[in-house]
Amino acid sequence: MGLFLFSFFLIYGGFHLYFFMRIRAAFAPGVAAQAILIALLLLGLITPVIVRASERYGLEVVARLVSWAGYLWMAAILLFFSISLLLDLYRLLVYLAGLMMRTDVGALLPSARTLFLVPALAALGMVIYGSFEARSIRSEPLVIHSAKIPKEVGRIRIVQVSDVHVGVLIRGNYLAEILRKVREAAPDIVISTGDLVDGQGNDLAEAAAQFREIRPRYGKFAVTGNHEFYAGIEEAMGFTVSAGFTPLRGKVATVAGVVDLVGVDDPGRHGLGFQGRLFDREVLAQASGGRFTILLKHQPLVEKGPLGAFDLQLSGHTHKGQIFPFSLVTRLVYPFHAGNYRLENGALLHVNRGTGTWGPPVRFFSPPEITVIDLMPE
């Protein structure tokens, strides 16, 4: 965890330094203006720390205001940096072309002010658009026919949410809109594949009550994600239970007599000092083998051993990068990035894009998702 935080602030601090150098080259501000700018950029850099501290000490209003301002700024500076890199690449190509052709290409090179204003305005527009996209929740249908679903049972509808990140930003009306989409789907089962909660010390009683209003006939089930351990596993599990979910931590739940839900803890818990997580194959061994078996696992990782022991794996975690172009990076880390993947044994893996947001309340080319899964007789 310490290495992750060090790497995060090292990279994020580099973005702020880059922004400072660009704005200084564009406008040549005086000493006083530069000092104010440095102070503001340092404030933006440590926003995540301020938010967590405010949450921990119960300063709800401060945490919410700083979160909105600080995390929107985070999205803006990340996009500014990305767009600026494209301009830098253009400048390099023009410069190299000039050297090769031995000609003056100065007229083709953008000014320092253009190099700042173009990415700044583009990033602003993308953040505004992405703020609306983050609230545009889509229902992604998935129909599966199986001989393991008896005709007399008929259709079983499962709604999967993932990476809701209930906390200082995802709550109130925001959460109500998510749950409205879930309710409209009329599920028989609701499943959360991790990162349901992200708050530390927040009063989340209202959010838990909102979840309790959804009462599918076969119940609600949840597995842990990495953020349950970040937020504090005991508090996170308390919220999960209060919200009406049955936690499946290395356990199997049989629903409707024909479906086994197999839940495993997030594998990232080992990096946080937690021990004792069962491997997928150990938990899957508790299932009957004759029922339709669904493996619930936060990260879209597939162990080789258990192939054939389940029919469907439901995962999340990737957010599909949440903000393009960072999806290009997450795709390298997680080859099973978003959507449906047929595994070696014929089982299906579905990776949910995430229902909420982490950090910036922004999505760009990665709309939020609830997955509506219909299990049908063959």
Residue pLDDT, tens place only, 208-257: 999 999 999 999 999 999 999 887 899 999 999 999 999 999 999 999 99
Q: Could you tell me if 145 and 120 lie in one domain?
A: no
Domain boundary among 109, 132, 155: 132
DSSP 321: G
pLDDT above 80 (res 2): no
pLDDT above 70 (res 274): no
Q: Could you tell me if 91 and 142 lie in one domain?
A: no
pLDDT above 90 (res 298): yes
Q: Could you tell me if 123 and 173 lie in one domain?
A: no
- Count of domains for the chain: 2
Between vectors from CA 21 to CA 16 and to CA 25, what angle results, nearest 5°?
150
Domain span at residue 37 reads 2-132
pLDDT above 70 (res 1): no
Summarised one tens digit per residue, pLDDT across range 299-341 is 999 987 666 789 999 999 999 999 999 999 999 999 999 999 9
Residue 344: predicted pLDDT: 84
Tally Cβ neighbours within 10 Å of residue 106.
9
Of 2-16, 34-48, 90-104, 153-167, where does mean pLDDT reach its minimum? 2-16
Q: Could you tell me if 64 and 203 lie in one domain?
A: no
pLDDT above 90 (res 163): yes
Residue 206: predicted pLDDT: 93
Q: Could you tell me if 76 and 96 lie in one domain?
A: yes
What percent of the chain is predicted at pLDDT more than 70? 95
Distances (CA, A) of 172 to 56, 140, 153: 20, 24, 36
Residue 105: predicted pLDDT: 84
Reported as a pLDDT band with limits 50, 70 and 90, residue 271 is low
Residue 346: predicted pLDDT: 85
pLDDT above 60 (res 272): no
Of 4-8, 23-27, 48-52, 61-65, where does mean pLDDT reach its minimum? 4-8
Residue 341: predicted pLDDT: 97
Reported as a pLDDT band with limits 50, 70 and 90, residue 289 is confident
Q: Could you tell me if 151 and 213 lie in one domain?
A: yes
Q: Could you tell me if 55 and 75 lie in one domain?
A: yes
Q: Could you tell me if 291 and 332 lie in one domain?
A: yes
Domain boundary among 74, 105, 132: 132
Domain boundary among 96, 112, 132: 132
Alpha carbon distance 155, 143 (integer Å): 10
Q: Could you tell me if 113 and 258 lie in one domain?
A: no
Q: Could you tell me if 291 and 209 lie in one domain?
A: yes
Q: Could you tell me if 123 and 172 lie in one domain?
A: no
Alpha carbon distance 73, 75 (integer Å): 5
Residue 263's nearest CA partner among 221, 291, 234 is: 221
Please list the alpha-helical segments (H only) found in the chain.
2-27, 31-45, 47-56, 60-101, 112-133, 172-184, 205-212, 226-231, 233-242, 280-284, 327-333
pLDDT above 70 (res 186): yes
Give the pTM: 0.92
In this prediction, residues 31-50 reach a mean pLDDT of 95
